[in-house]
Amino acid sequence: MGLEFLNRVRRTTLIAGAVGAVVMATYAGPWTGLALAAGALWSLLNLFAIERLVVALTGRDRGTPATVKAAGWAIAGMALLFAAGALLLARLPIPALLVGFGLPFAVLTLKAASSLLLGSRVWRATVASPWRAALVVATVLVAAWWVVPGLMQRPAGAQTAATTEHAAPAELAAAPADEHAAPAGGEHAAPAGEHGGAHSESKGPQKFANVITILARAFPDAGWAHFLHEFEAVIYALFVALILSVIAFLASRNPQMIPSGLQNVVEALVEGLYDFIAGIIGDRHAARFVPFLGTLGIYIWFMNLFGIIPFMDSPTSSLNVTFALGLIVFLYAQWIGLRGLGFVGYIDHLLGQPRDVTGWMLAPLMLPIHILGELAKPISLSCRLFGNIFGEDMLLVAFVSLGITSMSFLPGWAPGLPLQLPFLFLALLTSTLQAAVFMVLATIYFLLMLPHDDHGHEHEAQHAHSH
């Protein structure tokens, strides 16, 4: 339970640190934003080392050589972190570093304070009355509108000071960059430098080699090889779309009243998707949206599975492809809202449909929340799909490497243990689930943008039909 709580604290700190670093870099200069991010990262790494040390000293396996070694590594890591902290204090703005250092502890304190507040009598008495709750919200909004603009005006002078204070570090950082400019440009210009050079090995584990990467390594100076490598994800996505188009053409070119073979499989898939999506969005809108949503689900499913084929790659393991898919869903959902609700109804939807005093007092708060929620939908869709598919690839790479390492005593040509085989079946399951999740969430986003009266009439009709 304790480790799970620390994991939640780490996730919250990473999100808060990233947002804070972007805000500080925008309003107070890049050095201030970098300092805040570095301080938060330093603090998180230090807490992780302390956690590993405590687990090694107090766990069930304490005293074993493995735990002693883990404790030693944790202590060594803490020593290196203290040295890195001294370097950061000498090179970056100290106030921003201190804010980053204290960010995890602030998250811990706020979580504890929120738990106490939500369980207190004052909170229960406040939320029991809508008028008192609306008064508290209004007070917070007025305070935010009063305080935040004043804080946003301060960094103008701080930015100049930070720029002047760190002009020398910036010049020192620019010198090595200029010194190595030519080699870096040469490596970036050729695909072989990105894949086969020694510099690329420091970027971490790579995915399995596919046809395009093999061609790029075989012809490092060819312009067409560099083009293929640069647009690798897009090429594979278009290739999967071409395969699906060919399958659809073959299944529908000679339709039969009693389907068989490929036509039977495709019709069963289409019928199942239609019934599934209609169960969410309603029969009234199924004919309008199932072609898009069903095609989206099948397309993502095939792209997810495409990487399991040897020497191929999943286009959805690239954030560029998944974000494009999420952006399409986002734009289509907004068009549905504007067309179905009208401009006034669309704004009313973003305001939270206020119909009483409390609703209108909450409207200034609901508007930015709804806008941020709508903007977060394509990000959440794309990052969820990308993270799961890319994680599958890295998991397979890790177990393939482990299988090869476990048989390292054999000659170099001998194969390793097939430790990745069980995870291939897991990849089949997760690829299917992720495609279904993306399709279901897109369907729900469309449903939320449709006029709510339609939902009510559909539910009444279904209720009457059931009786």
Between 259 and 145, name the one with better pLDDT.
259
Q: Is residue 346 part of a domain?
A: yes
Read off the pLDDT of each residue in 9-28 and give the average, rounded to a whole number: 74
Which two tokens mark 324?
Answer: 């494009």
Predicted pLDDT of residue 435:
93
Q: Final residue of a domain: which of 168, 193, 208? A: 168
Contacts of 442 (CB under 8 A, 6+ apart): 293, 296, 329, 333, 381
Reference 336, options 275, 293, 307, 397; nearest CA is 293
Name the one residue in this structure whose structure tokens are 């799970």.
Answer: 4
In a domain, 82, yes or no: yes
Q: Are 297 and 436 in contact (CB under 8 A)?
A: yes
Q: Are 222 and 249 members of one domain?
A: no
Find tokens 């490596």 and name the residue.
187
140 and 251 share one domain: no
- Do 345 and 420 lie in one domain? The reply is yes
pLDDT above 90: percentage of residues in the chain: 19
173 in any annotated domain? no
- Give the residue with greater pLDDT, 218 vs 394: 394
Query: Which pLDDT score is estimated for 395?
Result: 86
Task: Identify the band that residue 345 occupies on the pLDDT scale cut at 50, 70 and 90.
Answer: confident
41-52: average pLDDT: 75
| pLDDT given at position 193 | 41
Residue at 174 is within a domain: no
Whether the predicted model's global pTM rises above the 0.75 cut: no
Q: Worst-scoring range by mean pLDDT, 190-194, 297-301, 374-378?
A: 190-194
Whether 173 shows a pLDDT value over 50: the answer reads no
**Judgement on whether residues 126 and 37 belong to the same structural domain of the protein:** yes
Q: Which of 333, 300, 331, 332 is nearest to 318 (CA)?
A: 300
152 — pLDDT class (breaks 50, 70, 90)? very low
Two tokens at 86?
A: 């001294």
- DSSP per-residue string spanning 393-459: HHHHHHHHHHHHHHTTTS-TTS----TTHHHHHHHHHHHHHHHHHHHHHHHHHHHHHS-HHHHHHHH
Distance of CA 302 to the CA centre of its chain: 21
Under DSSP, is residue 175 helix (H, G, I), strand (E, B) or coil?
helix
- Per residue in 274-314, pLDDT tens? 999 999 988 888 888 999 999 999 999 999 999 888 788 89
Residues 216 and 155 in one domain: no
How confident is the model at residue 242, as a pLDDT?
94
Are residues 158 and 114 both part of a single domain? yes
Q: Are residues 319 and 376 in the same domain?
A: yes
Residue pLDDT, tens place only, 67-88: 777 777 778 777 777 777 777 7
**Could you tell me what percentage of the chain is helix, strand and coil, using 3-state DSSP and rounding each to the nearest 5?**
85, 0, 15
Interacting residues of 137 by C-beta distance below 8 A, sequence separation 6+: 361, 362, 365
147 band by pLDDT with thresholds 50, 70 and 90:
very low
Question: Does 346 score more than 70 pLDDT?
Answer: yes
What average pLDDT does range 115-134 have in this prediction?
A: 74
Domain boundary among 141, 168, 195: 168
Looking at the structure, do residues 213 and 332 belong to the same domain, yes or no?
no
450 within domain boundaries: yes
Residues 378 and 459 in one domain: yes
Nearest partner of 212 among 146, 307, 143, judged by Cα: 307
Residue 460 lies in a domain: yes
User: Residue 226 corresponds to which tokens in the numbers above?
Assistant: 């560099």
Whole-angstrom Cα distance, residue 317 to residue 327? 16
Domain boundary among 124, 147, 168: 168
Sorted by sequence, the CB contacts under 8 Å of residue 338 that are 6+ apart come out as 346
CA distance 197 to 187: 8
Q: Check whether 64 has a pLDDT greater than 80.
A: no
pLDDT of residue 196: 43
pLDDT in tens, 400-456: 788 778 777 666 555 667 777 788 888 889 999 999 999 999 999 999 888 765 444
Instruction: Report the chain's mean pLDDT, rounded to a whole number.
Output: 75
Whether the CB-CB separation of 296 and 434 falls below 8 Å is answered with: no
pLDDT digits (tens, 9 = 90+) for 241-284: 999 999 999 888 888 888 778 888 899 999 999 999 999 988 88
User: End-to-end alpha-carbon separation of the chain, Å?
Assistant: 47
Q: Do residues 53 and 156 share a domain?
A: yes
How many domains does the structure of the chain reveal?
3
The CA distances from residue 100 to 49, 331, 452, in Å, are: 17, 36, 44
**175 domain-assigned:** no
Answer with the residue of higher pLDDT: 296 or 165: 296
Domain span at 134: 2-168
Residues in CB range of 222: below 8 A, 6 or more apart: none
For residues 453 and 192, give the distance between their C-alpha atoms in angstroms, rounded to a whole number: 59
Same domain, 31 and 81: yes
Q: Return the closest-CA partner of residue 228 out of 243, 217, 240.
A: 217
70 domain-assigned: yes
- Mean pLDDT, rounded, for 42-69: 72
How far, in Å, CA of 280 to CA of 290, rounded? 11
Residue 379 has which token pair? Answer: 């990000």
Residues 48, 185, single domain; the answer is no
What count of Cα atoms within 13 Å lies in the side-chain half-sphere of residue 46?
A: 19
